Chains A and B, each alone.
Chain A
Amino acid sequence: MNNRLSQLFKQKTKNVLSIFFTAGFPSVNDTGVIARALEKAGADLIEIGIPFSDPIADGPVIQQSSKQALDQGMNLKLLLEQVKQLRSEVTLPVVLMGYINPILQYGIGNFCRDARAAGVDGVILPDLPLRDYNEHATLFHANDLSVIMLVTPATSDERIRLIDQASSGFLYAVSASSTTGARAGFTAEQEDYFRRLAGLGLRNPVLVGFGISNAATFQSACRYGAGAIVGSAFVSMLRNSTNLESDIITFVKAIRSVS
């Protein structure tokens, strides 16, 4: 196993910072620019969203970025080429996140083969049911791609264990029953859920996502799991950025700052 994700979690089990952004946003060719800046800024893991016309699990910020990326001609084939290119400079693990339809059209087998060749380490496919994943599991494994699945506060312990068994790389703990988007802080109920996850003795490290937007939410998420994922807050920042590299470095520093 040469998977950069497994390497990462072997070396680091606390305060892992994963950053999500939409491929081809703000401009089509920014994917590589952003990935390089994230590596320089000290992020641990990069999640790149494959834009889709009908992103039902996403809030307005990511919806809008997806639409803009598509309008600018972004597609999966181009994204895989961009990942291949950025691999000459970027050593961080790269995870692709996207809805299943563009991948079905590309062909799951073709996608796994090309993703591996490009240097992708894992995939998050929120609308791929467990049943269908199990059908294709050998394809993902044969191409050394981790498959990261989601759990939510409403997922039963029994189902969390089932999902943990099928997942590899890490487990994506959605912080609330909600679509993606930044929030100010966590409620006591959410903290209970993080504690519940920590107490289950899962085989995968847990990263918390949805609603992580600043140092405070990052730190509270990190208290219970291996780290957290920042998405909408980062994409909002990108939209308004005039200098991607320096703004990304400032953003990551701010998330990492200890209050």
Chain B
Amino acid sequence: MRRFQPNEEGYYGLFGGAYIPEMLFPNVEELRLRYQAIVGDAEFQREFETLLRHYVGRPTPLYQATRLSEVHRATIYLKREDLCHTGAHKVNNTIGQILLAKRLGKSKIIAETGAGQHGVATATVCALMGLECTIYMGQLDMERQRPNVERMKILGATVVPATSGNMTLKDATNEAMRHWINHPTDTHYIIGSVVGPHPYPDMVARFQSVISQEIRAQLTEQQGNPFPDYVVACVGGGSNAAGAFYHFLDEPHVHLIGAEAAGHGVESGESAATTALGRPGVLHGSKTLLMQTPDGQVIEPYSISAGLDYPGIGPLHAHLFESGRGQFLNATDEEAMKAGIELARLEGIIPAIETAHALAVLHQLEFSPDDVVVVNLSGRGDKDLETYIRWGRY
């Protein structure tokens, strides 16, 4: 497993690295020097696995979706990350990082959040471990996602509105980084996706890699072969996709499909389809594909799903795209909403709208009848009820 692992400086091919001001160097360097030893430690692994099993509820089921399979004329499995505690895969990473933070001797945790899922997952593990928790969230997102704001507060977190820029995820990330610059010694920053300066993309991918580890074991058990023909996952920053792809990266016969948010359409000017619209650039500490103006200013993305509403993608995904190892498709708001409702009607599962993008791109793929397809069902739709209701067409 080398081709798709970062080198020592955190580069996946041309992408990655640590583009940070000197003020962040000590924190990021401490992580870079220590994370492999900490995460590789047997006691850490034991604690991580125990919490994933008894607290998060892992392994999550791999469910063969018969009626959805009929529609797509292939065997479709759903990896049920939506059944994780807190309702999405995000918690796999926050459990890992909170254990890491404790071993680094940090007493305070900060995080950014868009839709609020990562914020809730962070507030949850902070409550579990008794650490002080501050979540940065764009003021606009706070208004759009009130229930998640209240969930974080119930869990004891302080939610700070990010009022700079357009007041969404990108700005919340800026504010969290500024907070970290100003509080370098006692604070750990739990980044929620496979973005940020090295070693974050690798660290988060490893914590999420439990998803593909389980898929391999479950496919072996259910069909006698660990390899699907396709793994499909939605990509905002790309943490659930990184986790679902991870143990298949060096298996070229497994097609890796990322589903991005096209918003109102790739060419509409209101989109978050980074691989279609982005060029190499630097944001939040790493070099990656980035939606930007010709002058290098970052473009505010748009998607109906707040979790895909990010102008970049993790450097691993940029590398998968550039190298051709991964294929990136996109779905509009409308296609995603329809696919979400389709799953509800066929399988009795209301998916998160992020996840619905992965389901939508199934309609763009040509399967053979004997193909085995795993869709990473990254989150449940409870948080999106408002959006479904406003959509109305069900």
Chain A residues near B165 (CB, 8 Å)? 53-54, 67
**Cα distance A131–B165 in the bound complex, in angstroms:** 30
Residues from 133 to 168 in A contacting B, C-beta threshold 8 Å = 149-152, 154-155, 159, 163
Which of B25, B182, B284 gathers most chain A CB within 10 Å?
B25
The interface on chain B, measured as residues whose beta carbon lies within 8 A of the other chain's beta carbons, has a size of 33
Whether B182 lies near A151 (C-beta < 8 A) is no
Residues of chain B contacted by A75 (CB below 8 angstroms):
295
Nearest A residue to B295, CB-CB = A75
**Cα of A59 to Cα of B282 in the assembled complex, Å:** 20
Query: Roughly how many angstroms separate A58 CA and B164 CA in the complex, as a whole number?
Result: 11
| Chain B interface residues (CB < 8 Å from chain A) | 9, 17-23, 25-26, 164-165, 170, 174, 177-178, 181-182, 184, 279-285, 290, 292, 294-298
Contact check: which of B18, B181, B283, B284 meets A129 at CB < 8 Å?
B18
Interface residues of A (CB under 8 A from B): 52-60, 63, 67, 70, 75-77, 99-106, 126-129, 131-132, 149-152, 154-155, 159, 163, 174, 177-179
19 extra interface residue pairs, beta carbon distance < 8 Å, beyond A70-B297, A149-B22: A52-B296, A54-B283, A57-B21, A60-B164, A76-B296, A101-B282, A101-B283, A101-B296, A103-B296, A104-B282, A126-B21, A127-B19, A129-B19, A132-B19, A150-B21, A154-B25, A174-B22, A177-B23, A179-B182
A10 CA / B281 CA spacing, docked (Å): 38
B-side contacts of A103, CB under 8 Å? 296
Number of residue pairs A-B, CB distance < 8 angstroms: 106
A54 in contact with B182 (CB, 8 Å)? no
A131 touches B9 (CB 8 A): yes
Contact present for B282 and A56 (CB under 8 Å) = no
Q: Are A56 and B182 in contact (CB under 8 A)?
A: no
A102 and B22 within 8 A (CB)? no
Q: Is the CB of B181 within 8 A of A178?
A: yes
Given contacts A53-B165, A54-B165, A177-B181, contact A102 B297 (CB under 8 A): yes
Residues of B within 8 A of A149 (CB): 22
A53 CA to B174 CA, complexed, in Å: 10
Q: How far is it, in angstroms, between the C-alpha of A102 and the C-alpha of B297 when the chains are bound? A: 7
Return chain B residues, CB-CB under 8 Å to A52: 296-297
B22 and A100 contact, CB distance less than 8 A = no
Q: Which residues of A contact B182 (CB under 8 A)?
A: 177-179
Check if B25 sits within 8 Å of A155, measured CB to CB: yes
Tell me which of B17, B23, B284, B285 contacts A132 (CB under 8 A).
B17
Q: How far is the CA of A29 from the CA of B268 in the complex (A)?
A: 33
Q: Tell me if A105 and B18 are in contact (CB < 8 A).
A: no
Taking each of A67, A100, A101, A179, which has the highest tally of chain B beta carbons within 10 Å of its own beta carbon? A101
A105 touches B22 (CB 8 A): no
Most chain A CB within a 10 A radius of its CB, from B22, B165, B285, B298: B22
Contact of B181 with A127 in the complex, beta carbons under 8 Å: no
Q: Could you list 18 A-B pairs, sorted by A, with CB under 8 Å?
A: A53-B297, A54-B298, A56-B174, A67-B164, A99-B282, A100-B19, A104-B280, A104-B282, A126-B22, A127-B282, A128-B19, A129-B20, A131-B9, A132-B19, A150-B23, A154-B25, A178-B23, A179-B178
